[in-house]
Amino acid sequence: MIEQVIQGVPSTDGAGVKLLRVLHGPQMQRRLDPWLMLDYFSSDVPDDYLAGFPDHPHRGFETITIMLEGRMLHRDSRGNEGLLQAGDVQWMSAARGIVHSEMPQQAHGRLAGFQLWLNLPASHKMRDPQWRDINASLMPRWEDDNGGFLRLIAGNLPTQLGEFSCVTAHLPGPLEQKLSDPVIIHGELSVNQQTSGSLELPVSKGHNAFIYMIKDGLMIGEQALPGSSMAVLSPQTDCLDLRGKGAFLYVSAKPIGEPIAQMGPFVMNTRQELMQAVEDYQSGRLG
C-alpha cells in the first residue's frame, strides 16, 4: 500500500515565510503527476509568516490554498480579491498567466494551512485565468461520535464510511476540476481506530495518491507514519486503511502524462515555452 514515505523539508518562500516543502522536484512530480507541489505552513510566531507572499507570477498550472487557521488575503492582476479564513479554500487557475499576492491578515496567533500546485494539460495552459474562494460551509462533512471528521474539498465519497456519516446534504466536493478529477480530503481521527475498526477511504482507480500526516499518531494498516511526512500510495492501492489518532490531508488525481518543464512559478511543457513565459512577465504581458 505504501510505496514511499517522504519527510517535509524546512524551507522559506515568498518574503521569508517559514514552511515545510513536502512534494517537490522533477522525480516526485513525475511520480505524482499531475501534482507539482505541496507546502505546509504552521506557526504561531508572527515573524515566521507576517511578510507573506507579495506580488509574484504564475503560468501553466493551478494553486489550491487550504486555510486551517488564521486569515490570508488574496489580490491579483485581474482585479480579484478575497479573504480566506479558517476552513476556507481558494482555487486559482493561473493558466496563461496571473500575478497575485497572498498576505496574512493578523499580527499574532497561529497561521496554518496547505498550498497544492496542480498541473494543467498543454491544451489548457494558455486559457484565461480563473479564480474562486470556497467557504468552509460549502464542503461536505462527515463526523463520527467521538469528534472525528472528514471535509471533502474535491471529489466524491460514500455517505457512510464505517463510523463516519455525512452530516451535510450537499455533495460532491465544491472544487470540481474535470481535467484530472482531483480528490482532496482534510480530516482528523479523534480516537484510536484500532479499538473500533479503521477508516477505509476508497482510492480512485488510475489516480496517483498520497496522504500527508500533520502530526504523529496515524497509521496506514499496521505501519505508523511520523508527523510532517507524506506517504505515497502504490498504484495498486484501491483502499486506504487509516487508523490511529491525528489530522491528515489526502490527495489524489488522474495523471496527465505530459512532459513537465518548470522554472520557479512557471510550469509548461518545453523550455521554449518557459522562456516565453519569462519574456511575457518581464514585458508586462503576463496577467
pLDDT at position 197 is 55
Q: Residue 52 is part of a domain; what is its CATH number?
A: 2.60.120.10
Spatial CB neighbours of 278, under 8 Å, sequence gap ≥ 6: 263, 266
Closest CA to 57 of 265, 264, 263, 260: 265
Is residue 287 assigned to a domain? no
- Answer yes or no: is 72 within a domain: yes
Q: Would you give the distance in Å from CA 233 to the centre of its chain?
A: 16
Per-residue pLDDT of the chain (287 residues; tens, 9 = 90+): 899 999 999 999 999 999 999 999 999 999 999 999 999 999 999 999 999 999 999 999 999 999 999 999 999 999 999 999 999 999 999 999 999 999 999 989 999 999 999 999 999 999 999 999 999 999 999 999 989 999 999 999 999 999 999 999 999 999 999 999 999 999 999 876 544 557 999 999 999 999 999 999 999 998 999 999 999 999 999 999 999 999 999 999 999 999 999 999 999 999 999 999 999 999 999 87
Structural domain boundaries, residue 115: 2-282
Q: Answer whether residue 47 is part of any domain.
A: yes
pLDDT in the model for residue 198: 76
User: In the chain, how many domains are there?
Assistant: 1
Q: Which residue pairs from 237-241 have beta carbons closer than 8 angstroms and sit at least 24 positions apart in sequence?
A: 237/1, 237/203, 237/209, 238/202, 238/203, 238/205, 239/200, 239/201, 239/202, 239/203, 240/1, 240/200, 240/201, 240/202, 240/203, 240/209, 240/211, 241/1, 241/198, 241/199, 241/200
The one-character DSSP state at 257 is -
Starting at the edge strand that comes first in sequence, how are the strands of the sheet with 72-76 ordered? Answer: 53-58, 98-104, 72-76, 81-84
| 178 within domain boundaries | yes
Give me the pLDDT at residue 121, please: 98
Q: Which residues contact 222 (CB under 8 A, 6 or more apart)?
A: none
Residues listed for the chain: 287
pLDDT value for 207:
98
The span from the CA of 111 to the CA of 239, in Å, is 32
C-alpha grid cell, residue 145: 461520535
Cα separation, 8 vs 230, in Å, equals 7
